[in-house]
Structure 1
Amino acid sequence: MTHHDKTPGWLDWHPEPSRPRLQLPPGAVDAHCHVFGPARTFPYAPERKYTPGDASKEQLFALRDHLGFARNVVVQATCHGADNSALVDALRASGGLARGVATVRPGIPDAELRELHDAGVRGVRFNFVRRLVDVTPRQDLWDVVERIAPYGWHVVVYFEAADLAELRDFLLSVPVPLVVDHLGRPDVTRDPDGPEFGAFLDFLRARPDIWCKVSCPERLSVTGPPALAGERSAYRDVVPFARRVVEEFSDRVLWGTDWPHPNLVDHMPDDGLLVDFLPHVAPTPELRQRLLVDNPMRLYWPEAR
């Protein structure tokens, strides 16, 4: 695949992210990131809705070290569909320092599930964002849940805030732990104390095994990136939402860079500045220890405790 085959207007990840000022706690986990390709080795799925630039495991691990993280949770990207080869390759190359979230279809052979588990996969992702994937029938999702439950895996769910009401009963019926991506994508122009975000908080309260990633302010912000907001006050409109979740659910929040930041159209974030955004969201060292070390280790490396 050549460079010009990328989706028109595609933004590549930041070539020289700054080194964060924030000292991360030892053992910190970047609990949401991706690998893309390289397409020559791991072709993108025919049914994909976008074609990214390559973002290799070597580049991901170099970023991990540059930012001061110790581990990664690599999430299968929709551009690879249900072919988890690039994900598995990254996990196997990590020396045990990465876990994975895969995309699987109902008919997956048992041997393939076992192979994913042995490589380090600990969850599957259900994407309900219609601009990214075609909607999957609920029965298919249910079949997948029944297959993964014996492995102790969880389900990562990605949805827009407006769709939660329709999804809520289905999600609450899923008999394995849930992890919600990116704060459930709230509309941050609304009141963080208002009914829409209140419904999301109620969803998190409904079960003690619903986790939430307080990641991706760059996707949710309306006030925008550093150039618009001033370097150290970037994405501040997201803070009240993320902080509410971190403070109430401190033992089940996660955070990740979302590198290499697929499908952003207006700007590409500096990953160092994203790390430096963390004290706004988790203001104390104790909260950051839970968010970046204790919680992801409990979910993804329980045997290490």
Structure 2
Amino acid sequence: MSNACCAPLDAFQKLTFAMPANACDSHAHIFGPYDRYPLAEERSYTPAENDVGRFLWHLDRLGMARGVLVTASACGTDNSSVLDALGKHPQRLRAVAVCDGSTDRATLAAWREAGVAGLRFNLYRLNGRSVYKNGVGFEALQALAPVMRELGLHAQIWVHAPDLPDLAPELEQLGIPLVVDHMGRMNTELGVDNPGFKKLCAMLADGTAWTKISGADRNTKRRGDYSDVDAYALSLLRANPEHVVWGSDWPHINYFDPGHVPDDGVLLNTLRRWVPDDALLQRVLVDNPATLYGFEK
């Protein structure tokens, strides 16, 4: 069985700014309770149990009103816990679900009505190999794209930005909004002039794609500092500030050393370093998520 992940930190660094009303954490996961929502038998990691109640606690402690739940690979294509959370908290929550290419229109339409704003697809490869089990790939995206286009669902793409020059032409032909996870999972050693990262910036600039300036803790080589990620986040914000959202990636799965689990306060204070202007902070944390996920404006 895969290794068990560390639990998220309860304490966090004091925020250096006032959280704007209706701020949204645009990328997080929930797990459990496992007696109702068991994990997939085949999975790459075993997360600690953190259900929707714990997620709402996470939002409340940070002063955030809204959140977007993304079905994690450890859950496979079982979106039950996420759909249940949407039903219980329709004002506060939206979701991004995972499904295979055979999922019918009626199911997708029901999910859309419930608050599912997009579907996630795993195109992430390192050295040509998949990193996580249970990912739904490009063939499923192609099969689902016509219905997604009709229903107004976006495609959330988990991809390594250096692969975008090869993948972008086919993705752009689908005619649906694209949301690239975690700044394209850019290793900071590659530099902002990497052709794939420049392609991501260009896709934002022409309105083809959105991105989440999340995952600083996964992209950095300076644990707990993240200053080496600054140039990437700032490049994306310059490319198109209206197509950028932020997420914590709570509860920070795939950390196996408690000393490495990121502090949500540090992540938010890092965002503030990237976005010192209050109007831009409002856009990234409130206005853009409302547009992308369909929250009340």
The superposition leaves residues 174-229 of structure 1 with CA deviations (integer Å, 9 ceiling, x where unpaired) of: 21101110111112123324545323323333x4141111111001000112xxxx
Equivalence for 2:204: 204
Equivalence for 1:58: 53
The superposition leaves residues 15-63 of structure 1 with CA deviations (integer Å, 9 ceiling, x where unpaired) of: 3234423211111111111111221110111232222111110000011
Q: Assess, with a 3 A threshold, how the Cα gap between structure 1 residues 139 and 194 changes in structure 2: closer, same or farther.
A: closer
CA RMSD, aligned part only?
1.9
Figure out how many residues of one structure are paired with residues of the other and give that number: 290
Equivalence for 2:15: 20
| Bigger mean CA offset, 269-278 vs 187-196 | 187-196
Could you tell me which amino acid in structure 2 is paired with residue 256 of structure 1? G
Does 1:274 find its partner at 2:251? Answer: no
Could you tell me which amino acid in structure 1 is paired with residue 29 of structure 2? H
The superposition leaves residues 54-87 of structure 1 with CA deviations (integer Å, 9 ceiling, x where unpaired) of: 1110000011011011100111111111111011
Give 1:103 shift: 0.5
Does 1:289 find its partner at 2:279? Answer: no
Could you tell me which amino acid in structure 1 is paired with residue 199 of structure 2? A
Describe the SS at the equivalent of 1:69. Answer: coil
What are the residue-to-residue correspondences of 1:213-232 with 2, within 5 Å? 213-225=212-224
Describe the SS at the equivalent of 2:254. Answer: coil
Q: Which runs of 5+ in 2 are unaligned?
A: 125-129
Provide the C-alpha distance between the structure 2 equivalents of 1:127 and 1:34, rounded to a whole number of angstroms.
Answer: 16
Give 1:107 shift: 1.7
Q: Which runs of 5+ in 1 are unaligned?
A: 226-233
Q: Assess, with a 3 A threshold, how the Cα gap between structure 1 residues 22 and 152 changes in structure 2: closer, same or farther.
A: same
Describe the SS at the equivalent of 1:155. Answer: strand
Does 1:119 find its partner at 2:114? Answer: yes
Describe the SS at the equivalent of 1:116. Answer: helix
Give 1:286 shift: 1.5
Give 1:123 shift: 0.4
Q: Assess, with a 3 A threshold, how the Cα gap between structure 1 residues 293 and 135 changes in structure 2: closer, same or farther.
A: closer
Could you tell me which amino acid in structure 1 is paired with residue 46 of structure 2? T
Does 1:78 find its partner at 2:73? Answer: yes
Equivalence for 1:188: 188
Does 1:264 find its partner at 2:255? Answer: yes
Q: Report if the CA contact (8 A) 2:39-2:74 is conserved.
A: yes
Provide the C-alpha distance between the structure 2 equivalents of 1:76 and 1:9, rounded to a whole number of angstroms.
Answer: 18
Q: Which runs of 4+ in 1 moved over 6 A?
A: none
- TM-score in terms of structure 2 length: 0.91
Q: Report if the CA contact (8 A) 2:31-2:49 is conserved.
A: yes
Equivalence for 1:229: none
Describe the SS at the equivalent of 2:276. Answer: coil
Aligned-pair identity (%):
33
Q: Assess, with a 3 A threshold, how the Cα gap between structure 1 residues 194 and 80 changes in structure 2: closer, same or farther.
A: closer
| Bigger mean CA offset, 126-135 vs 113-122 | 126-135
- TM-score in terms of structure 1 length: 0.89
Q: Report if the CA contact (8 A) 1:81-1:103 is conserved.
A: yes
